[in-house]
Amino acid sequence: MSEQFDYIIVGAGSAGAVVASRLSEDPTTSVLLLEAGGPDTDSNISIPAAFSQLFKSQVDWNYETIPQPGLDGRTVYWPRGKVLGGSSSLNAMMWVPGFAADYENWAKSAGPTWGWQSLAPLFESTNINVAEQRDPRPLTSTFLNGVREAGHRVEAANSVQPDGFTQTRVTQLKGSRHNTSQAYLKPAKSRANLTIRTTAHVEKVNFDRQTATGVSYLVDGKRFEASARREIVLSGGAVNTPQTLMLSGIGDPAQLGRHGIPVLVESPEVGQNMRDHLVSLICLEVAGGTIKDATKIGNVIKYLTRRKGMLTSNVAEAYGFVRTDDALELPDVELIFAPVAYVQEGLSGIPCHGASLGPILLQPKSRGNISLASADPLAKAIVDAGYLSDPEGADRATMLRALKMVSDIFATPSMAKVTNGRHVSPRGAERLPMDEMLSTLLEHNSHTLYHPTSTARMGTDDTSVVDPQLRVRGVDRLRVADASVMPEIIRGHTHAPSVVIGEKAAQLLRS
């Protein structure tokens, strides 16, 4: 079966849903949006505090890194959204665009249209509803008092150069998650010129010589083809987009050759340059008042009747940007706070009442990569995050300094009143000497903050995977619009800039 459309968008996530919605605003343009997952109808998607219940479920790609030497040889679980809305359906709903300076760095790599002045209006005009938290825990106020006592500022969220702590602004609408499916696809679904296909796994992009003509995809084991009169946009994210490019013959010739894939374009950086935000949480026991009680009947009724209470929590209720070295011009870590014992990412439940606080490595020097396991499009790609792998050991040193800062915040009068000093994970860590304790926490409690980027890097240089117009180098009528094009990871959270990349891509396509 073969159909024809003006545009084909692969992936309905933080960027792809935006591109499809914006392009279909023109009634003379036909758009096909293909999503490997299903619709975003699971109730745990809409209930903010339930997001960890989605991990390792049918709406999750459920990736796992290869063993990471920098983390004591552990593998690290990587959830990625396999559902309408993509990872905006699984994330912690934090709207943190980051620093204007980071986008100015993008402009150095990809031209002035990717600088802050050009992108700022797009951040302001997205369809995403960004709101204050409806019912944050009192522990979050206690934490903000603690950071003041530790000498840090408390400020309003999302300035162009953050320099302190704040309560999280969240992507919610009336107490429910507001993902890109709700914000962009729901109002567009009635358009006759937009076709949305779920459970449609794209195998590869099809070409006539160097011109992208369409895609092949699978639905329930049956193969279909669709052709594009104008362009194809890959929006599968930092894992799936490079995998699709490589399966289509665009990548490192040596790797493609190992899997018997004919080389269409030699593009060695496909899948390379991967950055991710590593987080390492310290979790101490508290007497109560945490969202461990969110599923008690009174809280459930409060949520169902008034969209208030603990179930509206995004878990990560506060954060702040700090420098681990006073000589730094800009912060190098973010400290993130959750009024809950967030251990093992909630995969084994909440073990007790606890408060979690830890550093996020904002500008890692370490690099990872995405590679093919085989030429089978249904086989998961190989994820090597490369955590703490930089030869100089700078990333490890930064995280250890930051963990000491976290320990100092827990020791402030406000925080010391509510914690008993006992670590939830690993148990007994408080009995270790400080240096040994911090190393243990770093190696055993660290995991992804779910922000992989840069595996199809954008730039003005010929070695970049895509050019500043998001066009894949070496071919025609194929673009990428998702976090994989980011020249550098930002000091912030990647959902907001991914939405803006989708908005920017739609502008480029319409022009």
Please answer whether residues 4 and 226 qualify as being in contact, where contact means their C-beta atoms are separated by less than 8 angstroms: yes
Cβ 12 vs Cβ 82: under 8 Å: no
From CA 301, how far away is CA 433, in angstroms rounded?
46
Would you call 451 a catalytic residue per the annotation? yes
Establish whether 202 is an annotated binding residue.
yes
Token duo for residue 224:
């279909």
Active-site residue identified among 423, 447, 451, 495: 451
Q: Is the dihedral of CA 115, 117, 119, 123 positive or negative?
A: positive
Rg (CA), the chain: 22
Per the CB < 8 A criterion, the answer to whether 64 and 78 are in contact is yes
Q: Are 350 and 58 in contact (CB under 8 A)?
A: no
Q: Would you say 180 and 83 are in contact if contact means Cβ atoms under 8 Å apart? A: no
* 178 carries an active-site annotation: no
Segments in 111-231 forming alpha helices (H): 116-124, 138-149, 180
Which of these, 339, 337, 334, lies nearest to 285 by C-alpha position?
339
Which parts of 274-397 are beta strand (E)? Answer: 278-280, 282-286, 318-322, 333-338, 354-361, 369-371, 382-384
18 carries a ligand binding annotation: no
Contact present, 256 and 246 (Cβ < 8 Å): yes
Residues 119 and 110: their CA atoms lie apart, in Å, by: 13
**Residue 450: enclosing H or E segment and its boundaries?**
none
Are the CB atoms for 32 and 202 separated by under 8 Å? no
Q: Where are the alpha helices (DSSP H) in 377-484?
A: 394-410, 413-418, 434-445
Binding residues: 83, 202
Task: Give me the active site residues, please.
Answer: 451, 493
Which residues carry a binding-site annotation for FAD? 83, 202
